[in-house]
Structure 1
Amino acid sequence: MKRTSVAALCVALALSACGSPPPEEQPHGYVEGAEESPEAQPAIAYAARGSHRLHLLDLATESPSAIELSIGAQQVSEDGRFVYVTDGDRRLEIVDSGVWTVDHTDHVHYYRAPARSLGTLTFDTKIATVTGFGAHTTIGTADGRIRVLDRRRLEAGRLVELARITAGGTGPLALPYADGLLIGMGGERIVATDAHGRESGALTAPCRAPRDAVVLRGGAIFACDNHWVRVKHGNPLSATILASPRPPGSHVRFGYRPRSNEAALAGHTGVWSVNAAKATLRHVPSAGRRITAAASPADGRTVLALDASGALLSYDLGTGKILAQAHVPATSLTVDVNRAYLSSPRERVIREIDYRDGLRTARTLRTAEQPDLMVEVGR
């Protein structure tokens, strides 16, 4: 009897196990709450200056949507997924655009989810820099302080502060890189720290008055007052100084194609083009034109520039010759792997430009408000 009941119990347990489905394994690239897509889901995020509404224009379907803001937009920036909107003073609102790309170097994943505002932060002094990449987002303010946010928590819809760092200077710049930060300390040098601002000793490099910084495939690039610095991932980190007798502009941003090694920056006398993998720097004179923005198609041969009249130009990097130009009244420029986008606020349009085909206008996209402020996300 005892053996029979044990056998019966074993059979019952076996039947019970058979009746319970095995736990499902999540497929590679699974992100909870998001839909994975076979191709990129780029969108233009734009706003009229002072507006309490951020518009999102889907570039695949041309369908519009909008997010209500709690502040009047004066400046916008992006990190591929999140749009950082400031009121030009002490308030920052973070918007999840709902479209993004995850780069695994040998392959990429594309995602879509509902767009939403994640909330607003208020700082003690004016916001000077906002940079997001990988695990962190950093905000530098005019009092020389940096606030570090957990960008992974932003992905889950939460604003979580990790640290407050005193860096010195009037507009400190902190670039998330290699699981930590590269900080322009005191406006004089770049140091490597952890996410809480503790110096690791892994790197110190001179950099007076850093203008802007960007993470490319071949390393991180800082544009400084009288030279450039390429920081390369490794054990330990390494820094290469790139000499530049002509300084870049003081209020400019890098323009670059995602997942590339090249980026461009407008300068006082022309356009700078930097290659992070090769640690090379080239300057293209603008022959009297005042360049307001620049971007790299990352083909090793050309660079795009927007001048003060609103004209878009394509320069040959080797000769400095103008290869093509488009006479459009544009105020901002962004590029992705296929196209460039120009905003024309007075006309209420955004032009899609084929930079591989003589700067041909491929599409003219109508906007609901003046696109005074424009960035591209999901690219």
Structure 2
Amino acid sequence: MKSTSIRRISAVALALGLVATGCGSDEDGATGEPAATGARPGSDLQADEGSTEVDGPQPRLVVSDADSGRVDVLDLESGENIATFDVQEPSRLTDVGGRYAFATAAASSGEDGRVHVIDVGSWTIDHGDHTHSYVRSPAELGVLSGDDPAHIVAGDGKVAVFFDGEGEADVLDNSGLRNGDVTVTGTVETGGPHHGVVIPVSDHFVTSRPSGEADDSRPSSFELRDGGGEFVQEFTDFCPRMHGQAAFRTYAIAACDDGVFVASVADGQWISEKVGYPPGITAETRPSSFRTQDKLPVVVAPAGPAASNAGILLFDTATRQWSQIATPEPVLSVNLSGDGRNALAVLADRTFRVYDAATGEETGSSSVLAEPFDPSDRSATAPVVVVGGNRAYVADPAAEVVLEIDYRDGARVARTLDVGVAPASMTLAGF
């Protein structure tokens, strides 16, 4: 259980300097297209203390090492490592707001698990007709400690960090993060330890509940709690062996063995519903995680783990419609282009594939991995793909590189970044 002396944040006092690099756009080094209406430095917004406004996005890539607690921040114009953090254990990275990376490490040597909050130091604010981009030096803001940290969900101006061993989530506010303040503003309890989740939506929390099954820690149902964490109502639709979720402005979704659970609010009334999977999708080929893109209703997921994979699944959360894309080899990692028009996948046969999300047609392919991946090898670190601007970034742990791919140009490999570690998890910031 969490010790009261470490339950809250261990703040890290760091002097924040400026990063003065520019963003290039040469053919093989482009990392995204700055908006044509990008703001000029010193325009209508005041920069956060310690940061400076720049002419356009200056994106950064965050990479965690599969074999140590090392987390690197790379400037994507130069490809250079501009900051390294030691988070003590191999960690999974979660992007929050296109600016922060939450590095989650499992418990080790009888100690609590940890979530290190890192300000990557590059972000862009979109005002619709124009954008503002800012940079500062990367910095670790603080550490959350507790029993078996797991799912981290951002939504509704908050971040909920769930601790499986306690069955509760610590909640942070985005406004505090912007000021470098990672104080826990609230705790949401869920009824007992389990591999669960708390999803912030529309001034409420959609929270999982333990199934009560001794041999399975995954939840089977959800309830609603208010902004203070108090119980509001149960949802009538069940979600057996829930794993995988996504948050939107007025609704949340979660993957279950028998379909997708949807909790939504309209005119102050909360309801739930269940949307079945496409024909042929079973408990072995269902999604167990979702990838999203900002402001898009479509989510994408592998159709099951690599060992039993059945291609790519796309779910339009607005229309509740599924589509499925068949792939020639098992999918290891999948993502969406920023406009939602393309599904991007790394397959076990070493290839990176681009598919038209509407038709399922393959529009590009290239060889990206140094060697084929064996889905039956559970000890191997699987490749992952993240997307920013007009580029995808594929981690090849075996070769200790990250490949930058122009997915709009036949999946052309534009650049290879030698990161010097086995990249296990990645996030992007600054777009």
Give the aligned partner of residue 363 of structure 2.
323
- 1:152 match: secondary structure: helix
Q: 1:295 to 1:148 in 2, by over 3 A?
A: same
Give the aligned partner of residue 397 of structure 2.
345
Q: 1:233 to 1:321 in 2, by over 3 A?
A: same
Correspondence for 2:241 among 180, 194, 209: 209
Q: More helix per residue: 1 or 2? A: 1
Correspondence for 1:82 among 82, 91, 100: 100
- 1:323 match: secondary structure: strand
Q: What's the offset of the Cα at 1:292?
A: 2.1
Instruction: Give structure 2 stretches of 5+ with no counterpart.
Output: 1-41, 108-112, 211-218, 305-309, 370-381
Q: What's the offset of the Cα at 1:116?
A: 0.5
User: Percent same amino acid among aligned pairs?
Assistant: 24
Instruction: Give structure 1 stretches of 5+ with no counterpart.
Output: 1-25
Please say if residues 138 and 174 of structure 1, whose CA atoms lie closer than 8 Å, have aligned partners that are also in contact. yes
| 2:402 is aligned with 1:370 | no
- 1:51 match: secondary structure: coil
Give the aligned partner of residue 155 of structure 2.
133
Q: 1:164 to 1:103 in 2, by over 3 A?
A: same
Larger Rg: 1
Q: 1:172 to 1:371 in 2, by over 3 A?
A: same
- 2:267 match: secondary structure: coil
Q: What's the offset of the Cα at 1:164?
A: 2.6
TM-score, structure 1 as length reference: 0.81
Give the aligned partner of residue 91 of structure 1.
114
Question: Which shows bigger deviation, 28-37 or 358-367?
Answer: 28-37
| 2:73 is aligned with 1:56 | yes
- 1:255 match: secondary structure: coil
Please say if residues 315 and 321 of structure 1, whose CA atoms lie closer than 8 Å, have aligned partners that are also in contact. yes
Q: Which amino acid aligns with 1:109?
A: H
Q: What's the offset of the Cα at 1:230?
A: 4.3
Give per-residue Cα distances to partners, 1:122-155, cap 9 Å, x unaligned.
21x2122122335322122223222222332222
Question: Which shows bigger deviation, 152-161 or 295-304?
Answer: 295-304
Please say if residues 154 and 247 of structure 2, whose CA atoms lie closer than 8 Å, have aligned partners that are also in contact. no
Please say if residues 257 and 336 of structure 1, whose CA atoms lie closer than 8 Å, have aligned partners that are also in contact. no
Please say if residues 255 and 334 of structure 1, whose CA atoms lie closer than 8 Å, have aligned partners that are also in contact. no
Give the aligned partner of residue 229 of structure 2.
197
Q: 1:43 to 1:240 in 2, by over 3 A?
A: farther
Correspondence for 2:290 among 240, 245, 254: 254
Separation in structure 1 between the aligned mates of residue 68 and residue 177 of structure 2, nearest angstrom: 24
Q: Which amino acid aligns with 1:59?
A: L
Please say if residues 118 and 159 of structure 1, whose CA atoms lie closer than 8 Å, have aligned partners that are also in contact. yes
Give the aligned partner of residue 176 of structure 1.
200
Give the aligned partner of residue 180 of structure 2.
157
CA RMSD of aligned residues (A): 3.0
Please say if residues 121 and 139 of structure 2, whose CA atoms lie closer than 8 Å, have aligned partners that are also in contact. yes
Aligned length: 352
Give per-residue Cα distances to partners, 1:211-251, cap 9 Å, x unaligned.
22223578543323221244556433565532215247688
| 2:360 is aligned with 1:360 | no
Q: What's the offset of the Cα at 1:56?
A: 0.9
Separation in structure 1 between the aligned mates of residue 258 and residue 129 of structure 2, nearest angstrom: 35
Give the aligned partner of residue 9 of structure 2.
none
Separation in structure 1 between the aligned mates of residue 131 and residue 244 of structure 2, nearest angstrom: 26
Q: 1:116 to 1:277 in 2, by over 3 A?
A: same
Separation in structure 1 between the aligned mates of residue 415 and residue 429 of structure 2, nearest angstrom: 18
Separation in structure 2 between the aligned mates of residue 101 and residue 233 of structure 1, nearest angstrom: 29
TM-score, structure 2 as length reference: 0.72
| 2:274 is aligned with 1:241 | yes
| 2:317 is aligned with 1:276 | yes
Answer 1 or 2: higher relative contact order, Cα 8 Å, separation at least 6: 2
Q: 1:156 to 1:300 in 2, by over 3 A?
A: closer
Separation in structure 1 between the aligned mates of residue 284 and residue 334 of structure 2, nearest angstrom: 11
Q: Which amino acid aligns with 2:48?
A: E
Separation in structure 2 between the aligned mates of residue 68 and residue 104 of structure 1, nearest angstrom: 32
Separation in structure 1 between the aligned mates of residue 238 and residue 317 of structure 2, nearest angstrom: 18
Q: What's the offset of the Cα at 1:320?
A: 4.0
Separation in structure 2 between the aligned mates of residue 220 and residue 112 of structure 1, nearest angstrom: 32
Separation in structure 1 between the aligned mates of residue 83 and residue 394 of structure 2, nearest angstrom: 20
Question: Which shows bigger deviation, 38-47 or 365-374?
Answer: 365-374
